[in-house]
Copies of this chain bind each other. A is one copy, B any other.
Amino acid sequence: MTDDPPLNPALLPAGFVDVLPPAAEAEADGLESLMRVFAAHGYDRVSPPLLEFEETLLTGSGAAVAEQTFRVMDPDTRRMMALRPDMTPQIARIAATRLARRPRPLRLSYAGACVMMGSPSRETDRQILQAGIELIGPDTPVADAEIVALGAEGLKVLGVPNVSFDLTMPPLTTALLAGGTFTPATRSALLRALDRKDAAAVARYGGALAPILTELLYAAGPARRALEVLSRVSLPPAARAQSDRLAATVATIEERVPGIRLTVDPVEFRGWQYHTGVCVTVYALGRQEELGRGGRYRSNDDEPACGLTLRPDTILRVAPPRESRTRVFVPWGTEPEVAQDLRTQGYATVAALGEMAIPVAEAQRLGCAFIVSRGKLKPVRNVGKID
């Protein structure tokens, strides 16, 4: 066995990063801004732990990410613990256990870091930040709309421009296909074709449903147009019910958030394994990265729930940069009240730690925009030489 060469001490595992100034403060402030929006709408914050027993974390809605989860052994019980790849199963657990007796609708919010294994071939973050809400109890378009509206409000507070909310209704496809008669092989070929948006393959495997499925495939786009197509194609009753619910949700969202950009993809279902109703993916136009996602599902104990998880780290790459505090150099011997007063006004004071020959040179070296001189602020030239 040979020793590994010593690591460069600055090297981090792929997908893990040091967030440096000023991004780290911007990220924390952005996250808390989102949480304040949620709190103002009566969403109570819960904070589950980073690790849980894998049995409780990776069951139910957590099963979908089990393969992406780091595990360690609890030396106490010798049971395996999992490092959470997602907080939503934890919120569902809390709602069904410790908060089972709180009145419904139960509105919960949460924020924290999650860790997933990732794959070496894809350059993805392995530690991500989540900030989200869950609305547990009601199963109505108004509840769906509240979740989307709060997401929109949070992104607006952070100044994110050109946000699009892309809606899907995964059970609609299921209900549609239940109306056809397919062999298992044809059914799975058809699902694969829909997933890839391969119109030729949809025509080939769709049988009697091919014309409808093809039309719905092409209907993906602005919500009104998609709903118009859905309203005039012939659907079996179960699929019609899903379509009506989707239309009601869209109408409620548009009423609540005038001008919101909504799209609908009627036959999209990929990535929504455990969802039972309207789902949403949030994008900034022109960007590939998701800003968030959510949807309707059955929580533990089969309770109706819908939620939205935003990604503050991704959002802040899209949001306009925030103003950092202006730095003021405070020379040795300045009255403490002067510096205190500046901090109250929102400045960051950088205190001299001793007498300096040329305080303004030190102010400049430390990247301060101002220096306190005789109790007043004096600008410092050549600011911004800090690397």
Q: Which residue numbers of A lie inside 8 Å of B, CB to CB?
A: 4, 6-7, 9-14, 16-22, 24-25, 27-28, 32, 35, 39-42, 44-53, 55-56, 59, 70-72, 74-77, 79, 81, 83, 90, 93-94, 96-99, 101-103, 105, 107-108, 111-113, 115, 117-118, 120, 127, 138, 140, 142-143, 146, 256, 300, 325, 327, 336, 343, 347-351, 353-354, 365-367, 386-387
Distance in angstroms between the alpha carbons of A111 and B111 in the assembled complex: 14
B99–A20 CB distance below 8 A: yes
Residues of B near A13 (CB, < 8 A) are 51-53, 74, 76-77, 79, 81
Q: Which residues of B contact A138 (CB under 8 A)?
A: 353
Contact of A349 among B14, B41, B90, B348 (CB under 8 A): B41
Q: With a CB–CB cut-off of 8 A, which chain B residues contact A386?
A: 102-103
Q: Which residues of B contact A18 (CB under 8 A)?
A: 46-49, 90, 94, 98
Q: Smallest Cβ distance from A101 to chain B, in angstroms?
A: 5
Which 10 pairs of residues, A with B, have the shortest CB-CB distance?
A: A21-B44, A10-B97, A16-B49, A42-B350, A19-B47, A24-B47, A40-B343, A76-B120, A25-B45, A24-B45
A367 neighbours in B (Cβ, 8 Å):
103
Q: In the complex, what's the smallest C-beta–C-beta distance from A13 to chain B, in angstroms?
A: 5
Q: A13-B52, A21-B45, A71-B72 are in contact. List 10 more A-B contacts (CB 8 A).
A: A7-B55, A9-B97, A13-B74, A14-B74, A18-B47, A24-B44, A40-B347, A50-B50, A76-B120, A105-B366
CB nearest neighbor in B for A37: B343
Contacts of A28 in B (CB 8 A): 32, 35, 45, 47, 111
- B39–A19 touching, CB < 8 Å: no
CB distance from A122 to the nearest CB of B (A): 11
User: Which chain B residues lie closer than 8 Å to A14 at the CB level?
Assistant: 74, 76-77
A75 to B119, CA, bound (A): 8
Residues of chain B within 8 A of A354, CB atoms compared = 140, 142
CA distance A174 to B138 in the complex (A): 66
What's the number of copies of this chain in the assembled complex?
2
Cβ-defined partner of A127 (8 Å) among B19, B41, B51, B347: B51
Q: Per a CB cutoff under 8 Å, which of B70, B75, B113, B351 touches A113?
A: B113
Q: Are B353 and A146 in contact (CB under 8 A)?
A: yes
* A40 close to B353 (CB less than 8 A): no
- Residue contact B365 to A103, C-beta cutoff 8 Å: yes
A selection of 9 A-B contacts at a CB cut-off of 8 Å is A9-B96, A12-B53, A13-B52, A20-B94, A39-B325, A40-B347, A42-B327, A51-B115, A75-B117
Say whether, besides A28-B45, A42-B349, A105-B353, A10 and B55 are in contact (CB < 8 Å). no
User: Which of the residues B83, B111, B349, B353 comes within 8 Å of A83, measured between beta carbons?
Assistant: B83
Alpha-carbon separation in the docked complex, A117 to B72 (Å) = 10
Complex Cα spacing A107 to B24, Å: 14
A71 CA to B71 CA in the complex, in Å?
Answer: 9
For the complex, what is the distance from the CA of A160 to the CA of B118, rounded to whole Å? 43
Task: Among A18, A325, A349, find the residue whose CB has the most chain B CB atoms closer than 10 A.
Answer: A18
A41 is contacted by which of B10, B20, B348 (Cβ under 8 Å)? B348
Rounded to whole angstroms, the CA-CA distance of A27 and B42 in the bound complex is 17
Beyond A4-B79, A55-B7, whether A353 also contacts B140 by CB under 8 A is: yes
